[in-house]
Structure 1
């Protein structure tokens, strides 16, 4: 890994580097394509209009460490996003950090940079891997970028003083969670502002008020890099439907979901279904057999795919990250984004008690989207 020379500790009230002429050296950890996209958006906002940081060759202040999961669809999108990051001039390190002794080797290799780097950027504060890395850092500035709507739950849990737990999980997490509790607790303290550490939230989600109350600095992600880098899009004549992995996470019943998609497709003359990267092939096969929808497997996050086009002039979605992000990425194009709520009857028996409230909150707080009536 590229070793950073020890640097004077920065003033946590300022994002500038030690000399004040540009951003502080930063180390970012990403595990999903959306996280990597939002790190690029954050980097763009850090250097926008700053003297001496406009060119790609000046972007060496940021090193992205990609910690890919085993899922092939996620890995494929991550590789494409890594190429875009390198095109922007950033250093990208692809680190196979899972399985066998790989986690221990990775943590050992990153421990020195984590102690020296003045700023750390993370995309998933719920990840145990990220929590372990945060527990090792001495950085006086931490930035949390969006990992989708989970950012809303992260801020809410931080405000309540809760243990960091994904919203769709049930139970206490078992013995493994108890063993990991000391590490998780230290990581949580790293994500809490203090006299010696500033914590920023770079988000397109409605977290400004709660973040400010916690002492976090809320930075708005308006997808300026995406709009500048891609588009304007080409358009199709049909309506597009965005898929969700709520079935795969055990929140929504499969048969109820397939019926809802069929109803929406028929009512709104949808022709294409953009699959979530975690949707199973068997489910997608059943879906296209029942509806005739063309299944599209995006090779990049949907914000970039939509901005590049071709895309329908109307996009339908269930409650998900895209009802917040697509209106920003597609600003000025005239594309309508509409959202259909999740009927409580669609939830599985094993769904978290928080599921309905969380999903309703995603829709209720979405800006500039059309709300559709629920489908039977």
Structure 2
């Protein structure tokens, strides 16, 4: 049995893509299992995959995850919904205790976010089992780079200060980093749509979004442009005022009519954008790669530096949709932004294949 831990809709999508690739397309068409948050099943005869959803607390992520869980069950995958962040200080230890038998029986462990403290805690229990890291967006690029440099795992948008909580969890993070690094004792695989330069010992398998393209589309195209939102404001990287000005300028310049909100974007910010620009704010119920592939979608999709400048060209391969990426100038960054932020964001757009780069609005 392969055992996957996911905490976001995109991670679950990429686990399905990984399983589709490993089973040579046999994932699609396995008889569906009973639906329900705690349902279990055989996983079909072509593979045995169990996905554990370590449920987040924000409503948008939970909603998208439930929709993705339905799709996974329709493909014959066993899905276990785990309220890992239930109220109470004992929730993490209780979750680990409940999942320990599954971990012991797993042949391979698949994770979506190597920076997650929850995942790192679980990784202390995997021993010498083979590991796969699937994309959780652009964070995969930073994970591979940090492992190659032998650094501790720190998200790119954090300034790196170590508080009391970080110091307390340092031993757990150190063990997880060893588990996620090349070793003769286990295979470490990265399944990614991102451009990465792995160190010796890490196997890279390309994610071409074959399951998405097989399962959905091709989409109907609209005449206008669509704009993809980002959570760079919410993570403290980009100034809110600058971001709203940029969205308004891009919408006016390119004739955008819809704004696909990131699941972490605040309601207040979205209200201001709608009032200022007249854009229709869309709260997707699935990851954007699936929304775009199902359609309708604009002939041009505008995005700031984010995962979608790498994934949308793959998901929309064979269509006439053009993906355009807008750069983030240094003056848009907040003082709270990490010193690495500018270089990382420039790298995200600079390494994207099949996208048009457009200058930042004045």
Could you tell me the TM-score, scaled by structure 2's length? 0.94
Decide which of 84, 93, 96 is 2:71's aligned counterpart: 84
Decide which of 84, 88, 102 is 2:91's aligned counterpart: 102
2:216 maps to 230
Post-superposition Cα deviations, 1:247-298, rounded to whole Å, max 9, x if no partner, equal 0000000000000001100010111000000000100000011100010000
1:8 maps to none
- Deviation, 1:172, is 2.3
Post-superposition Cα deviations, 1:306-331, rounded to whole Å, max 9, x if no partner, equal 00001001100000000000000000
The number of aligned residues is: 348
1:192 and 1:111 map into 2 onto residues whose CA distance is 22
1:198 maps to 187
1:274 maps to 260
2:338 and 2:83 map into 1 onto residues whose CA distance is 32
User: For the Cα contact (< 8 Å) 2:190–2:204, is it kept in 1?
Assistant: yes
1:309 and 1:316 map into 2 onto residues whose CA distance is 16
2:320 and 2:329 map into 1 onto residues whose CA distance is 29
Is residue 34 of structure 2 the alignment partner of residue 28 of structure 1? no
3-state SS in 2 of match to 1:136:
coil
User: For the Cα contact (< 8 Å) 2:25–2:211, is it kept in 1?
Assistant: no
1:339 and 1:61 map into 2 onto residues whose CA distance is 39
Change (3 A) 1:80 1:59: farther
Larger CA deviation: 97-106 vs 285-294 = 97-106
* Structure 1, unpaired ranges of 5+: 1-24
3-state SS in 1 of match to 2:124:
helix
User: For the Cα contact (< 8 Å) 1:144–1:201, is it kept in 2?
Assistant: yes
Q: How does 1:40-59 map to 2 (within 5 A)?
A: 40-48=16-24, 55-56=30-31, 57-59=44-46
Decide which of 143, 150, 166 is 1:177's aligned counterpart: 166
1:262 and 1:71 map into 2 onto residues whose CA distance is 27
2:235 and 2:292 map into 1 onto residues whose CA distance is 25
Decide which of 270, 282, 302 is 1:316's aligned counterpart: 302
- Deviation, 1:41, is 0.1
Post-superposition Cα deviations, 1:10-56, rounded to whole Å, max 9, x if no partner, equal xxxxxxxxxxxxxxx11000000000000000000010167x99744
Q: How does 1:13-162 map to 2 (within 5 A)?
A: 25-48=1-24, 55-56=30-31, 57-59=44-46, 61-98=48-85, 99-100=87-88, 101-162=90-151
User: For the Cα contact (< 8 Å) 2:221–2:299, is it kept in 1?
Assistant: yes
* Structure 2, unpaired ranges of 5+: 32-43
2:130 and 2:289 map into 1 onto residues whose CA distance is 28
Change (3 A) 1:49 1:234: closer
Is residue 340 of structure 2 the alignment partner of residue 354 of structure 1? yes
User: For the Cα contact (< 8 Å) 2:237–2:338, is it kept in 1?
Assistant: yes
- Deviation, 1:372, is 0.4
4+ runs deviating over 4 angstroms: none
Post-superposition Cα deviations, 1:90-149, rounded to whole Å, max 9, x if no partner, equal 100000011312211110011222233120000000000000000111242100000000
1:219 maps to 205
User: For the Cα contact (< 8 Å) 1:59–1:90, is it kept in 2?
Assistant: no
2:156 maps to 167
Post-superposition Cα deviations, 1:144-187, rounded to whole Å, max 9, x if no partner, equal 00000000000011111111011001132311111111111111
Post-superposition Cα deviations, 1:35-94, rounded to whole Å, max 9, x if no partner, equal 0000000000010167x9974432551000001111000000000000000000010000
2:29 and 2:334 map into 1 onto residues whose CA distance is 50
**Superposition RMSD in Å:** 1.4
